[in-house]
């Protein structure tokens, strides 16, 4: 697998090409997304270059941000949000310091989160709180893969990001049959174009392995649809509004989360 430093020139080239494409599209949404990507990629590269510790800090920080957005999105009480905010970053930190203990830590996190509405005696919203809380732990647990996958996660991040924006642009341009009732704006034409772009990115980065290919082809679009389902369930358009052109961080990482699951499962 190519090391992080070897991927930097290719990623820089991808940023330049992406900036040109965003400019030619003349769509404010794509220009803002490119700006967010241009700001985020150096942070990701720097953290992964440091090694497992840097990857753990990056994943833990992303986990905290996603958890706060998720808690607000699902209207969880502050107690539930606080416990989730501790439980979620525990996964990547454990993957760094004591990877053998990761299953136990995740099991304990689910146990504690599930017990909160029981202990507080919430008869009205207890079941909803339990389901949303447990889903939060399970949904964000794959951030441990940022540590466990090593340099491969940078290639996966790049491929999923490029696949996602290509699918969005191509789907709007080409139209055709809709992908799912969960997200009417997405089309099969966009999925096909995004798949080609994602696999092409992996090939250019020297990371076109079966696990990463499956992760990009299946995990990325399914992750996007999973978040669409959650947002429809709570009647929200975006997970947050602080990230220009992208809603919230969860809106940007939704595709990566399930891609990490498949990459981890198929790589070990």
Domain limits of the chain? 54-149, 150-268
**The predicted structure's pLDDT at residue 45:** 87
CA angle 70, 33, 6 (to 5 degrees): 100
Contact call for residues 67 and 253 (beta carbons, < 8 A) = no
**The predicted structure's pLDDT at residue 132:** 96
What does the alpha-carbon distance between residue 113 and residue 105 come to, in Å, rounded to a whole number? 12
What does the alpha-carbon distance between residue 215 and residue 156 come to, in Å, rounded to a whole number? 8
**The predicted structure's pLDDT at residue 245:** 57
Closest CA to 238 of 19, 21, 4, 33: 33
**The predicted structure's pLDDT at residue 145:** 95
**The predicted structure's pLDDT at residue 246:** 62
**The predicted structure's pLDDT at residue 173:** 81
Instruction: Collect the ranges in the chain with pLDDT lower than 50.
Output: 1
DSSP annotation of 141 reads G
Distances from the Cα of 42 to the Cα of 131, 165, 172, 249, angstroms: 36, 19, 29, 16
DSSP annotation of 99 reads G
What does the alpha-carbon distance between residue 115 and residue 106 come to, in Å, rounded to a whole number? 14
pTM of the model: 0.89
**The predicted structure's pLDDT at residue 238:** 76
Three-state DSSP at 184 gives: coil
Which residue has tokens 């964000």?
140
């Amino acid at each position: 697998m190519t090391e992080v430093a070897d991927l930097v020139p290719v990623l820089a080239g991808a940023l330049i090409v992406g900036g040109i494409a965003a400019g030619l599209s003349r769509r404010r949404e794509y220009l803002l997304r490119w700006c967010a990507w241009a700001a985020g990629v150096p942070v990701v590269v720097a953290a992964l270059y440091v090694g497992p510790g840097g990857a753990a800090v990056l994943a833990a920080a992303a986990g905290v941000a996603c958890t706060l957005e998720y808690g607000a999105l699902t209207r969880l009480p502050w107690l539930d949000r606080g416990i989730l905010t501790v439980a979620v970053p525990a996964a990547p930190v454990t993957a760094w310091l004591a990877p053998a203990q990761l299953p136990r830590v995740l099991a304990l996190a689910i146990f504690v989160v599930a017990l909160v509405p029981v202990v507080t005696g919430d008869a009205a919203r207890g079941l909803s709180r339990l389901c949303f809380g447990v889903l939060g732990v399970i949904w964000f647990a794959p951030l441990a893969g940022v540590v466990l996958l090593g340099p491969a996660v940078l290639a996966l991040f790049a491929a999923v990001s490029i696949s996602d924006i290509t699918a969005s642009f191509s789907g709007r341009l080409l139209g055709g049959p809709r992908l799912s009732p969960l997200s009417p704006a997405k089309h099969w034409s966009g999925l096909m174009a995004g798949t080609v772009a994602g696999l092409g990115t992996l090939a250019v980065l020297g990371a076109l392995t079966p696990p990463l290919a499956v992760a990009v082809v299946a995990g990325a679009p399914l992750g996007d649809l999973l978040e669409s389902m959650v947002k429809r369930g709570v009647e929200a358009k975006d997970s947050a509004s602080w990230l220009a052109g992208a809603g919230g961080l969860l809106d940007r990482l939704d595709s990566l989360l399930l891609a990490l699951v498949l990459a981890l499962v198929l790589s070990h």
